[in-house]
Amino acid sequence: MSTLVHRIYIGTLTAIVVLTALFLAYNGASYYSTAIEERFYHPAHDYFKPSGLFGHGLGIVGTLLILIGVTSYIARKRYGFLSRFGRLKYWLEFHIFLCSLGPVMILFHTAFKFGGIVSIAFWSMVAVVASGVIGRFIYIQIPRTIEGRALSLSEVKEMKTNLGDVLRKNYHLEEASLSAITASARTAAGTGGGNLLAGMARQYFEGRKTIRRIKKELRQNNLPPKDVREVTRLVRNEISLNNRIGRLQAMQKLFRYWHVAHLPFAIIMLVIVLLHVGITLAFGYKWVF
């Protein structure tokens, strides 16, 4: 999957989640904005209530989406033969998509009325979604192989190239400009330190300033626009790789802690959802079946 196709893929999945949320909010705005004690008298109460045709359907579809998202991703990680159907990171992205769309539907299934043991499942679901977003952020900070295996520190360092040699050989820059560019790249990658998030923010903004300075330096060397873009890309990649090397061990440690926090919430949510489904069926709420 090329970079452009991947961006379209991610944009499409994101748009589906957002548009679904907007559609559900718009479609039921009158009912959801009515006070809970007055909803019984709303003309669409039998349709939008959690046990209604629409509300109940949202709960079923949302639960199925979550189950499919969880089980398919676990299967892809466990069974090697599924690798022929796509890289692990694409499966992870689809897992995130289904486990974001499902909770949106379940939110509207509840009609924003939380209580009893179901509220534990709901807030566990919220915790799972929130921790999933955090986990995705940590995941992409750790360099990986095409198959999705996390690289060790030594493997990441082997990926580095000598930026100065590449620029000297391919672009014939003046020695003063070459030294300024390589020094700027090293400086931008060394602006972290202290608090991890604050350090990453400093690195981000310093990297942007560095790229602007380097573009100016390259234009002063009368490089064609195409070469300016290519050199800028090389420098940006160099800064990004240096930054990842600097915080690799911290991110790997955070990722291990994240697993410890994410899994219990997911298990609690699934167990209570299964109880909820069982009790619902026991009371005869079978939707359209």
Q: What is the pLDDT of residue 147?
A: 54
pLDDT (tens digit, 9 = 90+) per residue, 180-203? 777 776 666 555 555 666 777 777
Tokens of 266: 């997911």
Positive or negative, the CA dihedral 158, 163, 165, 166 is positive
* Average pLDDT over the chain, rounded to an integer: 78
- The single residue listed with the structure tokens 């019984």 is 40
Q: Examine the pLDDT at 282 and tell me if it is beyond 70.
A: yes
What's the confidence (pLDDT) of residue 172?
67
- Name the DSSP class of 144: B
> How many CA atoms, within 13 angstroms, populate the side-chain half-sphere of residue 70?
18
Average pLDDT, stretch 12-22? Answer: 94
What's the one-letter identity of residue 15? A
Q: Cα separation of 249 and 153, whole Å?
A: 8
108 and 24 Cβ atoms separated by less than 8 Å: yes
Q: What's residue 25's pLDDT?
A: 93
Say how far apart CA 82 and CA 120 lie, in whole Å. 34
Residue 288 has pLDDT above 60, yes or no: no
> Please, which contacts does 145-150 make with residues 24 or more away whose CB atoms are closer than 8 Å?
146/87, 147/83, 147/87, 147/88, 148/87, 148/88, 148/89, 148/92, 150/252
Report the largest interatomic distance among the alpha carbons of the chain, rounded to a whole angstrom: 80
Between 32 and 285, the more confident residue is 32
CA–CA distance, 101 with 120 (Å, rounded to integer): 19
| C-alpha separations of 194 from 110, 190, 199, 214 in Å | 43, 12, 6, 27
The span from the CA of 31 to the CA of 93, in Å, is: 33
| Cβ pair 58, 110 in contact under 8 A | no
Cα 103 to Cα 131: distance, rounded to the nearest angstrom: 14
* Total Cβ atoms within 10 A of residue 167: 19
How many residues are present in the chain?
Answer: 289
Alpha-carbon span 138 to 124, nearest angstrom: 21
The tens digit of pLDDT for each residue in 60-117 reads: 899 899 889 888 888 888 887 877 887 878 888 898 899 889 889 988 988 888 766 6
Averaged over 263-285, what is the pLDDT?
77
Q: Do 246 and 192 form a contact (C-beta atoms < 8 A)? A: yes
What gap in Å lies between CA 42 and CA 52, rounded to an integer?
13
pLDDT digit string (tens) for 114-154? 766 667 777 777 888 787 777 777 777 776 655 556 666 66
